Structure 1
Amino acid sequence: MTILILSRGKCGLSRCITVYLVTMAVADLLCLIFDVIFFELQELYFPDSFLDYTPVCRMKFFLLFVSVECSVWLTIAFTFDRYVAICCQQIRTKYCTEKNAKVIVATIWGLSILENIPRYFVSEPQIIIDNISWFCIVKSSRYTEPAWVTYLWIDIVLLTFIPFFLVLLFNGLTIRHILLTSRIRKALRNNGNDPEMESRKRSIVLLLLISGNFILLWLVILIHFICAQITDVEFLQSDYSNPFAILEQVGYMLQDLGSCTNTIIYVASQAKFREELKNLFKYPLAFVTKLSK
């Protein structure tokens, strides 16, 4: 519904913002499909199916991490775009365009696919029955061979440390600029009503909610990784009595939750989005009512 509503372009958002939000919604949807449905639910309700063939299992992991990485870096791109739009007036008209947004989105998807290609080869068959390989487990060499260890560190840095730093940096600079500009305009106008500043503050609410949601829901994963490096515990433990295993699984749960909450943020912060959502539900009801007459 989010993709459909935003794609119609009736939410009062610029085409540039719409491109980012639609592609973020697509990435979040893919996260839910490949992680929640094809991974968690598939193991519970459809065990030992063709989805457990090793090549298919490898592809599931590959597509899962591609969608997660795209979701993360599209959030960063959207945050930077809003920073430029508000704080960098000289380059705003050239950078914050629909064409430029599409190029950036395509670049993020392409680089995410290339960066995650090694994930397809990081696992091996768990069991072979009648010359058919089943399931996939991470190779033990991933934690010992220098190449795999380096790749793991690069992956963690790209998914956690750098995104956290960039989100905090751009949001901090944006908020600082808004507060400074607001004080200057208030002093010049000598009244409490400034339609331009009120509009600018409302536009930044969406940015802060989405990026703040990202920081809070990815914080547990970041804490677990730091703890794992300090204590040398292994990832993906199956002993759920271990507090580190519990922390890791909670982090993954919150990561999946992050793919669901953006729609709620749109509804909470955008009046026109709420109106379009109501209309989306009214059309089928009106059609059914018309047929029943």
Structure 2
Amino acid sequence: MAIMILSRGKCGLSKCTTRYMVAMATADLPVLLIDVILRRIADIYLWPASLPYTPVCKIIFYLAPVAVDSSVWFTVAFTFDRFVAISTQNMKVKYCTERSASIVILTVSPFVCLKNLPLPFAYISYPGTGGLHGCLKPLEFYMRPEWMVYSWIEQLFTPAIPFCLILLFNALTVRRIFMASRVRRNLRDLSGGEKKKDQEMVNRRRSVVLLLAISSCFILLWATSVVHFIAVRSLKVFMYKSSGYPLEELERVGYMLQLLSSCTNTAIYIVTQKKFREELFRVLTIPIRYTGKIFKSAN
């Protein structure tokens, strides 16, 4: 529903911003379908009795991180786009366009797919119930040098580098906005004009609220995974993981929170964007309106 509403372009957002919003919402949907339902929930409640053999399992374990990485890097691209739009007026005209947004999205997508190509080869087959076979990462994955290097690259690519980039772009954007607001306020005071609402600052404030809401939510929900990655790699305890071990519980909480970040953007749109709420209400009331028209025509 969020994809449909944003695609209509009636939420009062620029075409460039709308394109990134649609991309993030489109990436979040496979995260929920593949990573949450097929990889997490089905692995607990369905696969033990009906695991559909190793190749399917490997495909799921490949598509799940592709969906997560796409969602994360679309968020980074959106954050950078807003930074350029607010902080660098010279680049804004050329970069903050619908065409540039499409190029960025089409560049990120295949790069994410290529980055995760080695993952299916990291899993091996193991016998499950009913003669079926599943897949898991062997201990060699954590010991062999090439897989250790890839594991570091994987964790740095998502979420360590995006985490730092979003923090940096947000800090620079907020700093720029405070400076610009102070200058505009001083100019208005010197001009002695009427104390009416500054529409430019209102528009900037809306963009910043949306940007900070999405970025801050990402940072908060991914922080646990970042802490777990640092703890595991620095303490070198990945060989001793067992159920009930503190870092094992931290890892599970991190997974839960990072997957939750894929379904919070729609809630953020509803809270921060008035026109999105109006469009959502209009879509939800369509069946009621049509039902009313049918009854009126029948009478």
Is the structural similarity TM-score above 0.5? yes
* CA–CA distance in structure 2, aligned partners of residues 13 and 115 of structure 1: 32
Match of residue 112 from structure 1: 112
2:238 equivalent among 216, 234, 250: 234
1:121 maps to 2:125: no
Amino acid at match of 1:172: A
Normalising by structure 2, we get a TM-score of 0.92
The 8 Å contact of residues 72 and 158 in structure 2, kept in 1 or not, is answered as: yes
* CA–CA distance in structure 2, aligned partners of residues 58 and 236 of structure 1: 24
1:30 maps to 2:41: no
Measured after TM superposition, the shift of residue 129 of structure 1 is: 8.8
* CA–CA distance in structure 1, aligned partners of residues 2 and 143 of structure 2: 43
The 8 Å contact of residues 87 and 173 in structure 2, kept in 1 or not, is answered as: yes
* CA–CA distance in structure 2, aligned partners of residues 31 and 271 of structure 1: 27
- 1:13-44 deviation digits (Å, cap 9, x = unpaired): 11111111111011111111111111222134
**Where has structure 1 moved over 4 Å in runs of 4 or more?**
48-51, 235-238
2:275 equivalent among 244, 247, 272: 272
Match of residue 96 from structure 2: 96
Match of residue 257 from structure 1: 260
The range that moved more, 20-29 or 283-292, is 283-292
Measured after TM superposition, the shift of residue 288 of structure 1 is: 2.3
* Identity across matched positions, percent: 46
* CA–CA distance in structure 2, aligned partners of residues 176 and 235 of structure 1: 44
Amino acid at match of 2:88: C
The 8 Å contact of residues 139 and 239 in structure 2, kept in 1 or not, is answered as: no
* CA–CA distance in structure 2, aligned partners of residues 243 and 227 of structure 1: 11
Amino acid at match of 2:178: L
* CA–CA distance in structure 1, aligned partners of residues 205 and 129 of structure 2: 61
- Aligned pairs for 1:32-181 within 5 A: 32-48=32-48, 51-127=51-127, 134-181=133-180
1:9 aligned counterpart, secondary structure: coil
Measured after TM superposition, the shift of residue 117 of structure 1 is: 0.3
RMSD: 1.9
* CA–CA distance in structure 2, aligned partners of residues 235 and 217 of structure 1: 26
2:224 equivalent among 209, 220, 223: 220
The 8 Å contact of residues 39 and 64 in structure 2, kept in 1 or not, is answered as: no
1:136 aligned counterpart, secondary structure: strand
The 8 Å contact of residues 236 and 248 in structure 1, kept in 2 or not, is answered as: no
The 8 Å contact of residues 83 and 173 in structure 2, kept in 1 or not, is answered as: yes
* CA–CA distance in structure 1, aligned partners of residues 28 and 285 of structure 2: 26
* Unpaired runs of at least 5, structure 1: none
**What is the count of residue pairs matched by the alignment?**
291
